[in-house]
Chain A
Amino acid sequence: MGSLASVLGVFDISLDKLSDGELWLAQFFRGLSDGATYASVALALVMIYKSTGFINFAQGSLALLGVYLVYVFSVEQGLPVAVAVVCAMVASAAVAMFIERVFIRPFPPDHVLPLVIVTLGLLLIIDSAVGIVWGFRTRSLPSMFPRGAPIEWGIAQLTWRTIGNLGTVVAVVALLYLLLSRTKVGLAFRAVSSNLESARLVGIRVGPTLGFGWALAAAIGTLGGALVVPDLLLEPSIMLRVLIFSLAAAALGGLDSMAGAVLGGLVVGLARNLLVTFLDLSELALATAVGVILVVLLVRPTGLFGSTRVERV
Chain B
Amino acid sequence: MSAEYLEVRGLKAAYGNIQVLHGIDFSVAEGQIAVILGANGAGKTTTLRALCAMVSTEGSIRLAGEELAGHRTADIVRRGVAHVPQGRGTFPDLSVEENLMAGAFVRSDTDVRDDVERWYETFPVLGERRKQAAGSLSGGEQQMLAIARALMLRPSLLLLDEPSLGLAPMITRSLFEQLTVINAEAGTTMLVVEQNASLALGVADKAYVLEAGEVALSGPADDLAADDNVRRAYLGY
Q: Which residues of A contact B (CB under 8 A)?
A: 184, 187-188, 190-191, 193-195, 197-205, 307, 309-313
Contact = CB atoms under 8 A, between A and B. Distances in A.
Contact of B105 (A187, A194, A311, A312): A187
B94 A312 contact: no
Contacts of B146: 198
B154 interface: no
A202 B77 contact: yes
B135 A201 contact: no
Contacts of A184: 105
A204 B94 contact: no
Given A190-B93, A191-B94, A201 B136 contact: no
B137 interface: yes
8 contacts: A187-B102, A198-B102, A200-B54, A201-B52, A203-B106, A310-B133, A310-B136, A312-B135
Interface string B78-120: 1000110100111111100010011101100000000000000
B74 A205 contact: yes
Interface centre among B52, B73, B83, B101 (most CB of A within 10 A): B73
Interface string B40-58: 0000000000001010000
Nearest to B159: A201
A191 B91 contact: yes
B135 A310 contact: yes
B153 interface: yes
B136 A194 contact: no
A201 B77 contact: yes
Given A194-B91, A202-B77, A309-B93, 19 more contacts: A187-B102, A188-B105, A190-B98, A195-B88, A197-B54, A200-B54, A201-B85, A201-B150, A202-B106, A202-B153, A203-B153, A204-B74, A204-B102, A310-B92, A310-B133, A311-B92, A312-B136, A312-B142, A313-B139
Contacts of A190: 91, 93-94, 98
B176 to A, nearest CB: 21
User: Would you list the 5 A-B pairs with minimal beta carbon distance, nearest first?
Assistant: A203-B77, A203-B106, A194-B91, A194-B93, A311-B135
A201 B82 contact: yes
A187 B92 CA distance: 13
B174 interface: no
B118 to A, nearest CB: 18
A193 B150 CA distance: 19
Interface of B: 52, 54, 73-74, 77-78, 82-83, 85, 88-94, 98, 101-103, 105-106, 133, 135-139, 142, 146, 149-150, 153, 166
A97 B18 CA distance: 35
Contact of A187 (B98, B135, B149): B98
Given A198-B91, A201-B85, A203-B78, A191 B135 contact: no
A202 B153 CA distance: 8
A311 B142 CA distance: 10
Contacts of A203: 73-74, 77-78, 105-106, 153
Nearest to B88: A195
A201 B78 CA distance: 10
Contacts of B150: 201
Contacts of A191: 91, 94, 102, 105
Nearest to B84: A201
Contacts of B90: 195, 198
Nearest to A197: B85
Nearest to A200: B73
Contacts of B93: 190, 193-194, 307, 309
A200 B92 contact: no
A158 to B, nearest CB: 38
B102 A309 contact: no
Contacts of A194: 91-94
B105 A202 contact: yes
A200 B54 CA distance: 9
A135 to B, nearest CB: 45
A195 B84 CA distance: 13
A255 to B, nearest CB: 14
A194 B90 CA distance: 9
A202 B103 CA distance: 5
B50 to A, nearest CB: 13
Contacts of B89: 198, 201
Contacts of B142: 312
Contacts of B139: 312-313
B52 to A, nearest CB: 7
A202 B102 contact: yes
Contacts of B105: 184, 187-188, 191, 202-204
Nearest to A192: B91
A184 to B, nearest CB: 7
A313 B90 CA distance: 12
Contacts of B138: 312
A204 B149 CA distance: 14
Contacts of A193: 93
